Amino acid sequence: MNHPREEVLFALLADTPPERQTVFLDATCQDDFALRQRLEARLTELQQSDTVVDPGSSADQPTVKAQIPKEEPDEAIGPTVGRYKLREKLGEGGCGVVYVAEQSEPVRRRVALKVIKLGMDTKQVVARFEAERQALAMMDHPNIAKVLDAGATSTGRPYFVMELVRGHRITDFCDQAKLTAKLRLQLFVKVCHAIQHAHQKGIIHRDIKPSNILVTRLDSEPVPKVIDFGIAKATEGRLTDNTVYTQLQQFVGTPAYMSPEQAEMTGMDIDTRSDIYSLGVLLYELLTGKTPFDAKELIASGLDGMRKTILEREPSRPSTRVSTLVMEELTTTAERRSIDRSQLVHLLKGDLDWIVMKCLEKDRTRRYETANALAADIARYLSDEPVTARPVSTLYKFQKSFRRNRLVFASAGAVLLALVAGLCLSVWQAAVATRERKAAEAARMAETEQRLAVQTALRRAEAERQRADDNANRASTNALLAQAEATKSTQVATLLKDMLAGVGPSVARGRDTTLLREILTNTVSRLDKEMADQPEVEADLRVILGRTYRDLGDYPASTAMNRRALELRRKALGERHESVAQALNELAKSEGLRGNWAEAEQFQRKALAIRRENREVTDLVIADMQNDLGILLWNGGKLGEAMAAYRAALEIKEKQLAPPNEKLADAHLNLSLLLLDRGDFAQGEAEARTALAAYRQLFGDGHPKVGMALHNQAKMLVELEKNAEAERAIESAVGIYKQVYPGDHEYVAEALDDLGLILQRQGDFTRSETAFRDSLAMSKRLLGDDHPRTLSAMRHLALLKAREPIDPEAEELIQKAETLTRQRYAKQPAMLAACLSDQGAYLIRTGRPNEAVPILQEAFQVTTNGGRPAIERKRAASQLSQLYSKLGRTKDSEKWANEAVRIPAD
């Protein structure tokens, strides 16, 4: 078996242009002659096994001779592969050859067929080849090449078929078309969206470079296509049933585009931010015509020198790199971008420098979180808005505002000039008027005495008329006063609504809410007395009060307010009014937070039905309603219906909203929780990270929704066994929650419970117990003993303390949790099964396995194959299999293991 370093060097050598292979061998092998001989021998063997290429064909796109499929060495492939007839050779990489092939059925079309090279069908290469096929098959995006078919040749060499992309490397296309920087950026944004799609499918490309992004034209519009996922990596789990050989110390990628973590080769987990770095290199090249580090110099420096450069050396800013080009090269670079060379440096300096350098940060936590975030910043640049990559100053914001609104500023300047001219004219006219006024003063004095006499007579007549009209006006005045009082009452109500909406905990951000609670209490006590004649105003106020109580975590008070608001609106407006739908929606949220998910679902469905009658289905309001319904369905264990609701909401929002947007981020956040329940932890973490990045851009780091996104992300990370990252995320979430919601709040209680679980996994039992106890005490005070949050904390604390001899406190907690769950949630199988499964685990840990058997069997029996109950059903079956194995009952263990496998995922 070859040494891993030799495998790495051979893969790099195979991808190196022939004219550079000697330089590569000199730099990498140095005095190791044996290594060089082995590499040269393997290279010769590879070259001898390659397809004969027509010498008259171009270097970029060699073609297969017409008679070659009939001759050696291609007889291993033949003129046809399955139902595909080979037409010409498009190109080849380190382990695969790509042909243009013709498909005759079921449709006639030309496709691209990729097959493993002869002599390269090792276990490692086959696994890598299959990984690429699986990666492409998982994706469906207009800017990613689609997989159409797959199979094996008659000699067993794997191949797959994808759409034929007749295009040019993105850098070549841009240079040949002499695209401006703006058009290049617009094309690059499409590439970002394609990579984001891959990331959302859990795929990291790991080899983003110009040759893997081809640009073709569709209806005269340039369309980029991302190809070659040959070294793609799944963010979690496997792409294939085989191992993809990207082991510790393996050097995977193209050096000039390789991220520092790829070059480090220390086993650091490669995540989506590695692709962000490579996108930054690509953007650098699109703007400057150069890569941050010269590819030839990297290869010539040898493996260690290459790694040191990528890991330690800071690249020049794009504007600096362009300014150091020799005059001839600078002229050519500028011409290819349809700009004067004197303007090119100025164009790059500033925002584009900042955007590119943020992508190229050595520390991946300082890069853009997602490809969409990078695309959004470029969109801001193109719209002359401030970019997030650049520190914001007042002058910078003014400059951006000026560029965005040149016409407005020009108009303002014209107005200012006119004002100055008018002022000068006014001063001159004032001087003339003063002279004329003095001349006329004497004449006016004489007239004044005569006018005073006339005015005295008129006043006497007016007094008589006024007395006559007083009685008639008095009645009218009283009516006006009454109307004014009513208007004042409505204005006061409106002011109160605005005030309540503006002082909730999410707005107050940690300030003392004692005064707010006093205001709420006083407001509620006055509503019945002072709003009896204004039911619609009272209903509006009660809706606001309900939201504020919900924000404070007082769900019973919130429910009471919303029920009364619904009653008032139905009586005043009828059953199908838009305001009734709003009240139903608010009531559904409150009841859901109290754990009454079935009732809350019915309220939400009624609200959605009314909204569908009154609004277009594609309206964002409908999307919000579907999102809220998805939350209730998810909590109620109806995972399939919840997924459909979430997907429908997300589809509407993605069509109508541009990131970063709060409603769009909300949809990603809710979807992440559903993916957690379905076991798709990698995709769930990606959704939570997308939401987190958007919230931070919109609100900063201290907003409660940032806490929610961190909380969700922590749940995914712990399932991905990234416990240290999970702990940091959940502790950050707890800190935000405590700042925003001082005192008791359900969000704090839930986050503390999850913190306890994460600490327990890491073996920090002392801190874990503290977190569980704090969560349990807070949940009891806030929600009562029988709320799902309280019961969860009870069971978790009991399981932490489960040992022999039996701990009396743990025994009391687990029994109390079972009793309360049976009393309150007997008709909610997922809740009951979760409790019973935890109780079974507790009995096993405390040395009572035989007592655990009927408990776990009941957990299995009360659930069904579908939704969240199916998750608990599968868990119970797995626990029974493990238990019977410990008891030595092999057949029973196998039976329950098979039962667990048969339970379908929702």
Phi, psi angle pair for 639, to nearest 5°: -70, -40
Residue with tokens 């419970």: 753
Q: How many CB atoms lie within 10 A of CB 324?
A: 12
Phi, psi angle pair for 225, to nearest 5°: -130, 120
In the annotation, is 207 catalytic? yes
Residue with tokens 């569980």: 772
* CB-based contact 561:601 (threshold 8 Å): no
Tell me the residue ranges of DSSP E strands in 188-267. 203-204, 213-218, 221-226, 233-234
d(CA 293, CA 318): 12
Contacts of 864 (CB under 8 A, 6+ apart): 829, 870, 873
SS3 state of residue 96: strand
Q: What is the DSSP letter of 602?
A: H
Phi, psi angle pair for 89, to nearest 5°: -90, 125
Q: Residue 660, preceding bond cis, omega within 30 degrees?
A: yes
d(CA 541, CA 524): 9
Contacts of 848 (CB under 8 A, 6+ apart): none
Contacts of 546 (CB under 8 A, 6+ apart): 558, 559, 561, 562, 565, 586, 587, 590
d(CA 751, CA 760): 14
d(CA 776, CA 771): 9
Residue-by-residue DSSP string for 377-412: HHHHHHTT---TTS---HHHHHHHHHHHTHHHHHHH
Helix (H) or strand (E) holding 293: none
For residues 485-518, one letter each, b for 16 or more C-beta atoms within 10 angstroms of the residue's C-beta and e for the rest, the string is: eeeeeeeebeebbeebeebbbeebeeeebeebee
Contacts of 327 (CB under 8 A, 6+ apart): none
Q: Within 502-554, where are the H helices?
A: 505-508, 514-530, 535-552
* CB-based contact 700:213 (threshold 8 Å): no
Question: Position 525: which residue type?
Answer: S
Catalytic position from the list 50, 121, 140, 207? 207
d(CA 133, CA 95): 14
Contacts of 297 (CB under 8 A, 6+ apart): 309
End-to-end CA, the chain = 44
d(CA 782, CA 779): 5
SS3 state of residue 181: helix
What distance lies between CA 827 and its chain's CA centroid?
36
d(CA 455, CA 468): 20
* CB-based contact 629:661 (threshold 8 Å): no
Residues acting as catalytic residues:
207
